[in-house]
Structure 1
Amino acid sequence: MLVSLGQRQESNRDRLAINGPYVERADWPGNRLDEALSKTWGSIAPYLYSGSYRWRLGRFVRRVEDCGHQFATVPDEQLHEAADGLRNRLMSATSGHGELALAFALAREATQRHTGMRHFPVQLLGGAAMMSGAIAEMQTGEGKSLTAVLPAVAAALMGQSVHVVTVNDYLARRDVELLRPVYEALGLTVGLIQQGQPQLERKHAYACDVTYCTNKELAFDYLRDRLALGPRRASARLLMDDLFEAAFAGQSHRLVLRGLQFAIIDEADSVLIDEARTPLILSGVPNESGNKAQLYETALRLARQLVAGEDFHLAASEKTIRLTEHGERTLSGLTSGLGELWDIRRAREELVRQALSAIHLFGRDKQYIVSEGKIQIVDEYTGRVMPDRSWEHGLHQLIEAKESCVVTEPSTTLARTTYQRLFRRYLHLCGMTGTAVETSGEMYGVYGVHVVPIPTNRPVRRTDLGFRVFPTSDLKWKSVVESALEATRKGRAVLIGTRSVDASEHVGRMLSAAGVEPAILNARQDRREAEIVANAGQPGRVTVATNMAGRGTDILLHRDVKAAGGLHVVLTEYHESRRIDRQLFGRTGRQGDPGSHEAIVALDDELFQRFANPHLLQLIRKTLFRKERVPAALGRALRIYSQSAAERLHAHARRSAVAAEDRFNKLLGFAGRD
């Protein structure tokens, strides 16, 4: 590789595991001290060695540019032949930087010929960072999808099975349609994994040199393969299964993946950090037959009779509910005579706790929407619907009953893992994102990958207009509408970011009442995402979107909009992660375009209500008197405190997810199951 893959990865090469046909890295048995030291080192490394590291990568980039001259005038057939000849050299144990530079130069030339776009030097730098086993932090709009072609081509020519992991089906399909001619020009095959794809198509897609897929589809394909393997992991046994499939009907492994060799993760912070809080569970057939709708309706009825503060305590910051002793006695009295499950103390209390969560912690048009009579979970980070996903432990069924939907049967767990376990099993892990420096410690401590900040191709002309904190949401929304109207009167385009479907539709109605008809992009319109984003840069256009809707797609500005000052972004509620706020602001001022952004928030926003110190909120309200805005210093302190508390809680949740899987695996091992 170009440079060391990182101390953590180097120290674990002896833990390479081959499970039957799978080539993957064995998980390392970390400990608290090792993780803490690694996180500390990972946090300071991007700043400590950024100069020397970039110098080494820059030297490689200059070599790529020198190699590119020899391919500038050759016909397409010779480009293909050059790639074939380079493949043998790259697969040799003696290959070095010279061969890698040639691979990058070939990929750059093929990209220019078949897409009309040529990699900038900073994109070559990002590709080199990924080849070294790092996360390249590239600002929004710097062409990360195009950058990923460089390491993908190089690794595929080395004979590696390359997985380019994106956050949704649309982005995966878009990239394959755009870049397929580039790969085919170099003699490489490209596969695409989409939701609902038949197993045989998936197997063919993973058999290609480069496969584009989403993180969730990849994870569940891996779990299904592990389930299919069962105890039959030895290569000889698997071969016998293939030879005598008829004799072993129903027992053939039928794997779709070829192992975990080379992963390039787009939006790496979202996949490796944000979504790593929740374990990935492959569910099977229902636990029991029969309709349990009556049971869930009874649980909801009982939960509504309990009094907050007296019968139960709600910890909003942790999204947990605890029954008090008084509540336990009250519940015992309410369930007297109901019989069956209600006579079992632990069972009734757990079921009612889940019912209280469904009522108080999960809201319609926030955590989920109701579409065609079904509950569909909304991803809090992307604002997109997650079809075919459900909450566990009966929570999903309770929400179905709450919304008067058809109550589905709960399912049983067949296999489970976490993103931490999955992605650190890859022999080579790298990625790219617009915001990663804040998580550099965790990236290295958990995954063994460094974060490398990549400079922008053109100087950034984005203007920060600061933030305003209002005491109530009514004042906040009024200010948001005024800001949008002021920008559109100048001929600019406006993007308003919200955290929920409900909030996006609320501000949309206010804008309509003010004479501006906005385009709304949330979980209800996710199928029109490309169309809405494509028109978001037109003069006078106002687009209202959940904070991350449209991530990965460019808002192309009309020339009149550029002349008027560019895209204006308004954040209406701080997210629990500072990175996601920065990602929204990064929608403007791309590739040297002009633009501006501001934050307009309120004290009754969810972030402050869940995580702010009540005494701090009380102090702020006392200092307001009759003012309509919170003083800037207090507002800044409130944001820093709340987001820091939220990030600590989420980090704890990620550690807990891994610990829970460890306990689960130990139980399976004790029971004699894999």
Structure 2
Amino acid sequence: MSDALATMDLALPRAFAHSRRMAQEREVDSAVTWMAAHLSVAATGLRSRKARLIGEAAAARARTLADLAADALAERRMEVALALRSGGMSNADMVDALAVAGEYARRTIGLEPYSQQMACAAALIGGCVAEMDTGEGKTIAAFLAAAVFGLAGRCVHVVTSNDYLAGRDAEQVRPALEALGLTVGVVTGDIPVSPRRAAYAADIAYVSSKEVCFDYLRDGLADTFITGRSALASKLGRLLGAAARDDAEPLQRALDVAIIDEIDSVLIDEATTPLLISTNTKGDISEATARQALELAAGLERGIDFTVDPHGLMPTLTLRGERRLEQEVAELTGPWRVRLIRNELLRAATAAVHTLRRDHHYLVRDGKIVLIDQQNGRTMPDRYLNHSLSLMVEVKEGCAISGERKSLASISFQRFFRNYATICGLSGTVREVAVELHTVYGLRMTRIARRLPLRRDAAPPIVFSDRTQLWSRAADKAQALQARGQPVLVAVRTVTEAKRASEALHERGVIHRVLSAAQDEAEADIIAGAGARGTVTVVTNMAGRGTDIRLEAGVAELGGLVVLMCERNESRRVDRQLMGRCARQGDPGLVAEFISQRDAILQMLGPPWSKILRAWPRITSHAITRAQSICERRGRHDRLQLLRRDRQLAKVMAFAGGLD
């Protein structure tokens, strides 16, 4: 190992865990905290070089193990594990451990890790967030890091976006992990309690972010409702060695190490999403009252009787609107007699009628309302609107009334993942949120270089005055590319626009498939075949994140996959993720962008911009970038506000054992 590498120790997770928690206790908007975050981002190049040197050394060391007999390699594995558990994790130990894990991967699953994947694993072991381009092999990088943590005796949760990816990734690397002497568990939504507990007891557990969070809440409820003790009493009982009842045995044995795939999606996009365990109760508002509210809301005028924040959904009644409501309900009884209740009812009804849109904010599936995540385009069957709003939407759509849901336990991803002793993760899009990740979670960014040069071309954006023109041109483009044999992803934001795209393609006779929240069950299947010759796939921003699009033989010679972006997302990171679907692992690819001056995101800028864009259409792309910046600032503000509220509440609840 080179002298340069020997002097470059990556921070040990256990060593910096305390200082990370101390940093998190400071005010997130203080000048010192923000300066430290920006300095950390500025040092990304140095950390990237450290990781690269370790990766290159580990890859070279792995090649020297190729000729070892199985017994000799097993003996080497035992030596590495003993060194990790007794002497910490120096760079030399990390290189040896990565080399052994890499060689076992080569022998058992036929995949020899590249030096870039070794470098990514080194960054993860050092407690960093690794930005690794789409298609560069993040699954193997996460496996390497999990293997080293496991050999060191740590309890590891590899956290994925959904159950499918958790199962797929675990099965891909299971032979290698088991050959290393490590046990592997998979936690998905359909696994019963006993096998679920056994999966968490494994050295390495693959689990979706939703499931690991809900199981944490279930453990808290089991402590409170089954044992009859408070959370503080339960914690003290475990600390003092008090015997626990079998039915109250926790599902999770520890929150030690979390390796989070697509970490920006979990810790940023979904940071403020509340995860709740709730029970149904009979609501106080009748269906008849809800119908009355919807009829009243239908007669209200936007801008006169109510206003809507362009960044939100819930309207605010104007003074005129309140007076009009008071007059129209003068003869009604019940909840309409109480000013606060009737105003809240009408706000919910107005949102259901005027702002919440079917196939954009929610789907109607099997007679039930299913919410759509606005960040990733996926359905959220386990999440609900607040009771009054949920009731209004159900009545509006003619669905069965679900009743009021009483919360038993809740937590946000932002608060939950801060409970781990070590968190790290990887994604293809980190740089835009690197400062926030450092500020909130104490995470430092490391950039992993591509294995092969990027061969992605970008065509100049084309601006259209309305979406009708845009879809006509997009259908022509897709038709021409399909005739040529080149595969196309037509990228949109919403289910509604996906339907419009599909209709336009049908009119041109273009055979295609659609991947949106309405077809989410076939996600992996659809996206995996999107690289076949002449395939046209309409996708929302879910876009099969985590699933490779492999080009069919001969497609690379035609120019590779074309991503036709027909609608911008609220986050520039999501746009980058969509662009990253093409030109993977040295393949060629093209990104073409069609922009409409009626793009939904431009509504963030307000009415004056409509006139400006009509006069100067060339600045439409810049206007969209400005609107995205506004959305990103708003999201960042909401996340920091939640963090402040959590800290204030934690201080108030400290006497009872804290928030959890």
- How far apart in 2 are the matches of 1:672 and 1:75? 53
- CA, structure 1 residues 292+78, in 2 after alignment: closer, same or farther (shift >3 Å)? farther
2:490 aligns with 496
In 1: Cα distance, 2:205 partner to 2:655 partner: 37
Instruction: Confirm whether residue 535 of structure 1 aligns to residue 536 of structure 2.
Output: no
1:13 aligns with 2:18: yes
Is the 1:5–1:449 contact (alpha carbons within 8 Å) kept by the matching residues of 2?
no
Name which of 274, 281, 295 aligns with 1:301: 295
1-structure distance, mates of 2:243, 2:332: 54
Query: Does residue 188 in structure 1 map to residue 182 in structure 2?
Result: yes
Conserved 8 A contact 1:521-1:545: yes
Q: Distance in 1 between matches of 2:538 and 2:460?
A: 20
Does the 8 Å CA contact 1:417/1:661 hold for their aligned counterparts? no
Deviates most, 560-569 or 105-114: 105-114
> CA deviation digits over 1:165-216, x for unaligned, max 9?
1111111111011111111111111111111322222211111101111111
Aligned to 1:22: none
Note if 1:658 corresponds to 2:638: no
- Relative to 1, partners in 2 of residues 1:620 and 1:471: Cα closer, same or farther, differing over 3 Å? same
Counterpart residue number, 1:615: 608
What is the CA–CA distance in structure 2 between the aligned matches of 1:608 and 1:327, rounded to whole Å? 27
8 Å contact 2:44–2:445 — kept in the other structure? Answer: no
Instruction: Please tell me whether the aligned partners of residues 501 and 546 of structure 1 are also in contact (alpha carbons under 8 angstroms).
Output: yes
Offset from partner CA, 1:648-672 (integer Å, 9 cap, x none) = 1111121233344456556766999
Q: Which of the numbers 238, 241, 266 marks the counterpart of 1:271?
A: 266
- For the 8 Å contact 2:491–2:578, the answer to whether it is kept is yes
In structure 2, distance between residues paired with 1:132 and 1:2:
9
Counterpart in the other structure of 1:18: none
Q: 2:203 is matched with which residue: 185, 199, 209? A: 209
Gapped regions of structure 1 (runs ≥ 5): 16-24, 247-251, 624-629
1:673 to partner: Cα distance: 9.0
Match of 1:228 in 2: 222
Amino acid at match of 2:84: L
Structure 2 matches for 1:310-459, cutoff 5 A?
310-459=304-453
Q: Which amino acid aligns with 1:388?
A: D
What is the deviation of 1:431? 0.5
1:551 — aligned with what?
A: 545
**Residue equivalent to 2:226:** none
Paired amino acid for 1:635: T
Identity of matched residues, %: 36
Q: Does 1:258 align with 2:250?
A: no
Instruction: Give 5+ residue unaligned stretches, structure 2.
Output: 1-7, 224-230
C-alpha spacing 1:10/1:103, structure 2 compared with 1 (3 Å): closer
Three-state SS of the structure 2 residue aligned to 1:423 is: helix
Task: Single out whichever of 584-593 and 643-652 deviates more from structure 2.
Answer: 643-652
1:145 alignment partner, one of 134, 139, 155: 139
Q: Which position in structure 2 is the counterpart of 1:641? A: 626
Q: TM-score, normalised by structure 1?
A: 0.90
Partner of 1:600: 594
**Aligned counterparts of 1:407 and 1:449: Cα–Cα separation in 2:** 44
8 Å CA contact 1:504–1:545 kept in 2: the answer is yes
What is the DSSP-based 3-state SS (H/G/I as helix, E as strand, rest coil) of the residue aligned with 1:559?
Answer: coil
Give the deviation of 1:357 after TM superposition: 1.5
- Give the direction of change, closer, same or farther, for the CA distance of 1:95–1:616 in structure 2 (3 Å limit): closer
Contact 2:53 2:119 in 1 (8 A): no
Aligned to 1:106: 100
Classify 1:389/1:94 alpha carbon distance in 2 versus 1 (closer, same or farther; 3 Å).
closer
Q: 1:3 aligns with which of 10, 34, 38?
A: 10
Matched residue pairs, number?
645
**Matched residues in 1 for 2:313 and 2:553: separation?**
46
Q: What per-residue deviation string (whole Å, max 9, x for no partner) do you get for residues 49-77 of structure 1?
A: 34432332233223313432442123445
Does 2:119 match 1:125?
Answer: yes
CA distance in 1, matches of 2:481, 2:238: 67
Q: CA deviation at 1:568?
A: 0.4
CA distance in structure 2 between the partners assigned to 1:568 and 1:323 by the alignment: 46
Match of 1:91 in 2: 85
**What residue number does 2:228 align with?**
none
Could you tell which deviates more after superposition, 95-104 or 115-124? Answer: 95-104
Alignment match, 1:42: 37
- Offset from partner CA, 1:608-631 (integer Å, 9 cap, x none): 02x1243232112134xxxxxx22
Whole-angstrom CA distance in 2 between matches of 1:241 and 1:298 = 56
The 3 A distance-change label for structure 1 pair 198 and 241 is farther
Give the Å deviation of 1:157.
1.0
State the partner residue of 1:219. 213
Q: Which stretch shifts more, 477-486 or 454-463?
A: 477-486
SS of the equivalent of 1:92 reads helix
Q: Give, in whole Å, the separation in 1 of the partners of 2:349 and 2:113.
A: 54
Paired position in structure 1 for 2:3: none
Letter in 2 for 1:201: P
The answer on whether the counterparts of 1:292 and 1:409 sit within 8 Å (CA) in structure 2 is: no
User: Could you tell me how far 1:586 is from its partner in structure 2?
Assistant: 0.4
Map 1:46-85 to 2 at 5 A: 46=41, 48-85=42-79
Separation in 2, partners of 1:562, 1:49: 37
> Is 1:139–1:456's contact at 8 Å kept on the other side of the alignment?
yes
Partner of 2:574: 580
Q: 2:287 matched to 1:282? A: no
Q: Which amino acid aligns with 1:31?
A: E
- Which of 69-78 and 588-597 deviates more? 69-78
Deviates more, 1:232-241 or 1:424-433: 232-241
Equivalent AA in structure 2 for residue 498 of structure 1 = V
- The alpha carbon displacement at 1:406 in A equals 0.2
